[in-house]
Amino acid sequence: MRAHFMWRWVMGFMLLGLLAGCQPGGSHASFIGTDLTGTHFGKPLTLTDHTGKLRSINDFKGKVVVLFFGYTHCPDVCPTTMSDLKQTMKLLGDKADDVQVLFVTVDPERDTQEVLAQFVPGFDARFIGLRGTPAEVAANLAEYKVYAAKVTEPGQSGYTMDHSAGLYVFDKTGAPRIYLGYGEKPANIAHDLKLLM
């Protein structure tokens, strides 16, 4: 992800964290990530999973949900983040069953159901990949304030996707609670998830 976009999104979530801290009972200094308690997103995410089933984030109430937006052709950020989430699940041990990781593609053109079915569960069989039409994906990106744009390089075939690379964490009621920036260590992710269990 390009540095100027990363800086813009980091500043945005720092502001969200400050606003959340002003809410009564909204301060959770023990979170390592940015506290989103008291903030609100738009309508719940609704997309098709890698088995062809229509899913809503509301389907996972009762679990802590970790939402990550990425794409399977990503050269480094996405596989690194998914590997970190795999390690996080190992650190959680038996508590990992109370967590649902959702990988939402920002590249529905290439990330077909079959591609997601190979990529996402390859990190952990419990992880779910989500996709939709370009219009459906764009609508969900807007609801969650996620940046994504196709990038082509002169003289090169194909393209990459410039995109936001953090993790949204929702508590067991489906409320947004934490934002964790790219590169957060698995131990720190596990720490914050345990606080919501």
Instruction: Quote the tokens at residue 89.
Output: 């699940």
Report d(CA 95, CA 155) in Å as an integer: 49
Inform me whether the pLDDT recorded for 24 exceeds 50: no
Average pLDDT rounded to a whole number, residues 155-178: 88
Average pLDDT rounded to a whole number, residues 91-104: 97
Instruction: Report residue 148: phi and psi, to 5°.
Output: -155, 135
Are 98 and 63 in contact by the 8 Å Cβ rule? The answer is yes
Instruction: Report residue 31: phi and psi, to 5°.
Output: -70, 140
Q: What is the DSSP letter of 109?
A: T
Binding-site positions for Cu cation: 74, 78, 163
Report d(CA 179, CA 14) in Å as an integer: 9
Q: Which residue has the tokens 């940015």?
A: 34
Report how far apart the first and last C-alpha atoms of the chain are (Å, whole number).
31
Inform me whether the pLDDT recorded for 121 exceeds 90: yes
Look over the chain and give the mean of its residue pLDDT values, rounded to a whole number.
85
Inform me whether the pLDDT recorded for 160 exceeds 90: no
pLDDT at 81: 95
Residue 23: pLDDT band (50, 70, 90) is very low
Could you give the angle at the alpha carbon of 23 between the alpha carbons of 20 and 27, nearest 5°? 65
Instruction: Quote the tokens at residue 94.
Output: 């038996």
Query: Domain total for the chain?
Result: 1
Average pLDDT rounded to a whole number, residues 88-115: 96
Are 78 and 106 in contact by the 8 Å Cβ rule? The answer is no
pLDDT at 106: 93
CATH assignment at residue 64? 3.40.30.10
Residue 7: pLDDT band (50, 70, 90) is very low
Q: What is the DSSP letter of 94?
A: G
What domain range is 78 assigned to?
3-195
Nearest CA-CA partner of 182 in 103, 91, 80, 105: 80
Going by DSSP bridges, is the β-strand pair 46-49/54-56 parallel, antiparallel, or unpaired? antiparallel
